[in-house]
Structures are given as structure tokens and as C-alpha cells.
Structure 1
Amino acid sequence: MIRFISVAVFVVLFLILSIPLMVAEWIIGKFNMDVKNRSSLAIVNWAFRWCLRLSGVKITYIGEERVPRDQAVLYIGNHRSYFDILMTYVRVPRPTGYVAKIEMLKIPLLSNWMKNLHCLFLDRNDLKQGAKIILTAIGKIKDGISICIFPEGTRNKVPDTFLPFHAGSFKIAEKSGCPIVPIALNNAGDVFEDHLPKIKKTHVVIEYGEPIYPNELPKEDKKRLADITLERIKEMYFKNKELV
């Protein structure tokens, strides 16, 4: 419980004490949005790194050199833990927004930082709102902001299994022309979710796969984009099980 309390206290203190920074970021954004994007990325990266240190998690990253640095991308990963966001965000090379559930908007201060980081809030029960989120994400990609989605739609609670990927998420890459970067996360649930409310010192393996360029795929493969991406993630996941 000590790790849980340490992380919880740090998060609360960060959110409260960072209010002046949030105001400063708002002012900076009025004059230079690019500077705001990068400063917000640095601030939240710092906070996330401390959360990971306090949690005691050890992370092995594989294939980061495969992530394109010269353009925005669509990250697609399997989802087992809230820590998935922290563990992947600290490695992004450019401002990146995550697609989160709309309930996160109810959390004061945290939701403000998420908005600063270009996060999008999805109501899974509203198809029209979902379509708008896709259009907004396409705009973000075209503006140079990467997007990360866990298209299982919710945290998968069963180890070594995968929920079907929602195909709508992949329209972001199809319409924007950006590459898809598959991410396989091993053992992420063992940090927290598998033994609530304890945070456990554990080892997580995260691998970034070769980018998938939808516009370069044959027509039939474009129709199977969600399945192809899931297959690549599964391949990396089961290959890395022995490393955990």
C-alpha cells in the first residue's frame, strides 16, 4: 500500500501545485502554441516519470527506433492498465494526444492537463460523438500532433487475451495518411489492476512494431487494417512473454 499512497499523494500535490503552471501554459498558448505543446509535454513527462519511479515499475522498451520522428503517427496498443498511458507517454518524441473515456472530464485539474496535451474524450454510447472525435483526431494528425488509441475500447481484464479492435479508430490513419505504430504491452496489469488497490513492483515489456502505412497496402488489406494491426501486436506480445 505504501507505493499506492506515495503515487496518490504525488498526483494530488502535482495537480494542486501545478495550477500556476497551467495558467502560464494558457498564456503561452495565446502567443505560441508550439511552445505550449512542447512545454506541456515536458511538464507532464516529468510528473509521469516520478509516478513510475514511485510505483517501482521497471520497463524494457524495444523498437523505439521504429517510430517515425519526422511526422505525426497513430499509436495503437493493447490495454490492460491505467499505467499504459504513463509508460507510453514518457517515450513519445512529439506532442501526443490520447483518446480517453468521457468520464475523465469530471476530474478537475487532471482534465485540464489532458486538454493541454490534446487528449480527446470519447463517449462510447454516442456514435455521432464518436464520428466527431475521429474527425478531430484527423485534424490533430495533420497539425503534427500524434494520437494514441487503445482500440479494444476498455481495459482487458483477462491476461494473454485480446478484445476485438474497433475498426473506426483506424479511419484516423486512413484519412490522414499517417503511419500506424503498433504497441505491444506485456505484464502491464501486474502493476496495479491485477491486485487492487496495491501497486506492485514489477517488470513490463513494451515493444513498438514496424509502422504500417495504410496508403501503401493493397485494397483488400486496407479492409483488414484492424485485424492486421492486432495480429502484429499479438505476435510481439507472445514473443516477449519470456522477457517478463
Structure 2
Amino acid sequence: MIRLIFVILFVALYLIIGIPILFVEWLVSKKFRYAADISQLRMVQWAFKVILVLSGVHLTVIGEENVPKDTPVLYVGNHRSFFDIIITYARCPRLTGYVAKDSMLKVPLLSLWMKRLYCLFLNRSDVKEGLKTILTGIDQIKHGISMCIFPEGTRSKNKSETEMLPFKEGSLKMAEKSGCPVIPMALTGTADILENHFPRIKPTHVILEYGEPIYIKELSKEDKKHIGNYTREKILTMLEKQSTLPRS
């Protein structure tokens, strides 16, 4: 419990202190938008790294060289924990917005940071609103901002790390329509940090692997038609490989 308390206190303190900082960043963005964006990105990444230290997370990263540094991408990953976002966002080399469920809009201060960092809020019960969100993501990618989505739609609670929920095919439209590369991400061990024994945070060895970029236009007609499942299989292969690696 002590680790959870430290994390909660740190997040609360960060959000409170961040109120005047956000105001200053907003003023700076009026004249120097990119500088303000990068500054906010690095501040949040620093905070996430502190959370990982407080939580006792030991992270092994594989294949980070597969992430292009000079072009926006669509990150696509399996989803088992709230920590998936903290771990992956802390390593983004450039501006990146995450697609989150619209209920996050109700979280004060946190939702404000998310909006400033180009996160989008998806209403899964409204097809029209969902389409608007995807179109906004396409536009952001075209303007140089990477996006990240977890196509299972919710956190998988299966006991096995290699069991994923089906991927929603529409989730990959942002890459299909913008032409950006898809970067598959496979995460192992994140549910062991908190979800598997809530409310206790447990020091955990987590593996994050980035697969080779997927360029949709280079795929066969059949793979393009089922790009969600194609990407899911790439992630599943990485998860199966990770299951044979030692974790202590």
C-alpha cells in the first residue's frame, strides 16, 4: 500500500503545481506553439518516469530502434493495465497523442493535460462521434503528431499474457488514411504492477517490445482488408516470444 500512497500523493502534487505551469505554457504557446508542446511533453514524461521509479518497475525495452524519429507514427499495443500508458508514453521521442475513452474527460486537471498533449477522447457508443475522433487523429498525424491506440478497446483481464481481445478494425484507419507507419507494441507484466493485486503496487519486471514498422500500402490486398488482425498477430508473436524470456 505504501507505494500506492506515494504514487497518489505525487500525482496529486504534480497536478496541483501544474495549474500555474499550464497557464504559463498556454501563454508561451500563443507565440511559440511547438516549444510549448515539447516542454509539456517532457514534463509529463518526467512525471511518468518518477511514477515508475516509485512503483518499483524494472523495464526491459526491445526493438526501440524500430521507432522512426523523423516521422509521425501510429503506435498500436496490447492493453492490460493503466501502466501501459505510463510506460509507453514516457518513451515517445516526439509529440504523441493517445486515444482514450471519453470518461477520462470527467477527471479534473488530468483531462486538461491530456487535451494539451493532443490526446483524443473516444465515445464508443456513438458511431458518428467515434468517426470524428478518428478523423481528428488522421489530421494530427498529417500535422506531424504521432498517435497511440489500444485496439482491444478496453483492458484485457485474461490470465494469460498472450490472450488478447479482438482488435477493432477501425482503430487502424488513422494509419491507413494518413499513410504513416504502424508501430506494434507488445507489453508483458504490466498487470502485475497493480491490477492483479489491487490496491497494492508490486515491484515488477516489465517487457516492452517495439516491432518493425508496418506500412499498410505495402501489404497484400487481403492483409489490408484485415489490418487489425494482421497487426494483432504481429503483437501476439512478440508476446509469445516474451513468455519464454526470464522475468525476475
1:49-74, Cα deviation, whole Å (9 max, x unpaired): 11100000111000000011110000
Q: Which residue of 2 aligns with 1:200?
A: 202
Q: Which residue of 2 aligns with 1:230?
A: 232
Q: Which runs of no fewer than 5 residues in structure 2 stay unpaired?
A: none
Q: Which residue of 1 aligns with 2:67?
A: 67
Q: Which residue of 2 aligns with 1:177?
A: 179
Residue 241 (structure 1) shift: 1.3
Instruction: State the TM-score, normalized to the length of structure 2.
Output: 0.97
Q: Which residue of 2 aligns with 1:219?
A: 221
Q: Which residue of 1 aligns with 2:164?
A: 162
Residue 242 (structure 1) shift: 2.7
> What CA distance in whole angstroms lies between the structure 1 residues aligned with 2:86 and 2:159?
20
> What CA distance in whole angstroms lies between the structure 2 residues aligned with 1:144 and 1:32?
16
> What CA distance in whole angstroms lies between the structure 2 residues aligned with 1:70 and 1:184?
22
Q: Which residue of 2 aligns with 1:190?
A: 192
1:96-119, Cα deviation, whole Å (9 max, x unpaired): 000001111111110111011100
Residue 136 (structure 1) shift: 0.2
> What CA distance in whole angstroms lies between the structure 2 residues aligned with 1:238 and 1:216?
25
Q: Which residue of 2 aligns with 1:79?
A: 79
The alignment of Structure 1 onto Structure 2 pairs a total of residues equal to 244
> What CA distance in whole angstroms lies between the structure 1 residues aligned with 2:171 and 2:158?
22
1:21 maps to amino acid: I
Residue 120 (structure 1) shift: 0.2
> What CA distance in whole angstroms lies between the structure 1 residues aligned with 2:55 and 2:179?
37
> What CA distance in whole angstroms lies between the structure 2 residues aligned with 1:54 and 1:242?
28
Structure 1 moving runs of 4+ over 4 Å: none
> What CA distance in whole angstroms lies between the structure 2 residues aligned with 1:39 and 1:67?
21
> What CA distance in whole angstroms lies between the structure 1 residues aligned with 2:9 and 2:244?
34
Residue 24 (structure 1) shift: 1.0
Matching of residue 109 in structure 1 with residue 106 in structure 2? no
Q: Which runs of structure 2 are paired with 1:119-134 in the superposition (5 Å)?
A: 119-134=119-134
> What CA distance in whole angstroms lies between the structure 2 residues aligned with 1:31 and 1:99?
27
> What CA distance in whole angstroms lies between the structure 2 residues aligned with 1:221 and 1:124?
25
1:133-178, Cα deviation, whole Å (9 max, x unpaired): 1100000100110000000000001132100000001111110000
Q: Which residue of 2 aligns with 1:150?
A: 150
Q: Which residue of 2 aligns with 1:37?
A: 37
RMSD: 0.7
Instruction: State the TM-score, normalized to the length of structure 1.
Output: 0.98
SS at match of 1:31: coil
> What CA distance in whole angstroms lies between the structure 2 residues aligned with 1:215 and 1:240?
29
Q: Which runs of no fewer than 5 residues in structure 1 stay unpaired?
A: none
